[in-house]
Structure 1
Amino acid sequence: MSDLANRTLTIEKIFNAPVKLVWDAWTQSEHILKWWAPKGMNIKVIEHNFKVGGKWKYSMPMPDGNEFISEGTYKEIKEFKKIITSADFKPMTENVELQTYFEADGNKTKFTFRVIHATPEYCKQQEEMGFYNGWGSALNRLETILETLKN
């Protein structure tokens, strides 16, 4: 697994919110609905069984009438610390692993998001397709939601 670094895309962020709030916004359907999809798009939570072995599945209707499906199975959950899940984002990204880490830092949360791909080539292709822009904008929306939840 020495090529793990070449197969991983990582985003690190400090959220100006306590870890429990960030955790809730990441794990509860009513919050996910507000930040997971690109700005101006809607999302439906089809399934969200937040436990190890549980499945999640979200659908986003596209302007052309097709649906963009995000789904996976939770592999590991350590409350307020980490979530590891398989993930498919059909039709663009399949068979990746999402690793999400939460670290309390007073009233802030150090947040690390990693996506592990099957091969370095696939990882590079995903990066070139706009990984950092896409997830970056979703995490910016999450940040906005956190501000609302704090008040």
Structure 2
Amino acid sequence: MPVTDVSHDLENRTLTIVADFAAPVDRIWQVYADPRQLEKIWGPPEYPATVIDHDLRPGGRVTYFMTGPDGDKHAGYWEVTAVDAPRSFSFDDGFADLEFTPNPDLPVSKNVFTFAEHEGGTRATFTSTYATAEALQQVLDMGVVEGASSAINQIDVLVS
């Protein structure tokens, strides 16, 4: 499994997931830069994603929905804040209705995804920061660690 470490810090309102891949940085970057590849890994296997809009540049927006095993749909969005291809990108990630209108009742996270050469492959660090400890606890209770870890672990199959 690529995920090697998961930690959360309520005081600092952060969730950090580290994963190692036996693929070069450019290949891991492509997973996020290409919406069809992103669909294969954004969301746990039982909730595959469909990317509607994909503008991975500062000021850009990515919109998507995940479809559950019973056909239920859950939408979300990224507001891209920074891009340093192929090394990193930052974005605000939020929940939305099926028209991609942000849901103010659910937390928005500020995310920084970084990709660095490591032992002949890539170490990816995924850091999410929430506005409050309560917001972080809310997504922890919703299963974000399990969902994100199973989603990230799908990258290995895609890049091999």
With the shorter chain as reference, the TM-score category is: 0.7 to 0.9
Bigger share in helix: 1
1:128 aligned onto 2:141: yes
Match of 2:40 among 29, 34, 37: 34
TM-score (norm 2): 0.80
TM-score (norm 1): 0.85
RMSD between aligned residues: 2.2
1:13–1:61 distance in 2 versus 1, CA, 3 Å: closer
- Please show how residues 10-25 of structure 1 align to structure 2 within 5 Å: 10-25=16-31
Give distance in 2, aligned partners of 1:37 and 1:124.
19
Residues 78-128 of structure 1: per-residue CA shift (max 9 Å, x gap) = 112111001113468432111101112353101100111110121122223
Percent identical residues = 28
Unaligned runs of 5+ in 2: 1-8, 97-102
1:4–1:39 distance in 2 versus 1, CA, 3 Å: closer
Partner AA of 2:33 in structure 1: T
Greater mean alpha carbon deviation, residues 57-66 or residues 12-21: 57-66
Q: Where does residue 80 of structure 2 map in the other structure? A: 74
Partner AA of 2:159 in structure 1: L
1:140 aligned onto 2:150: no
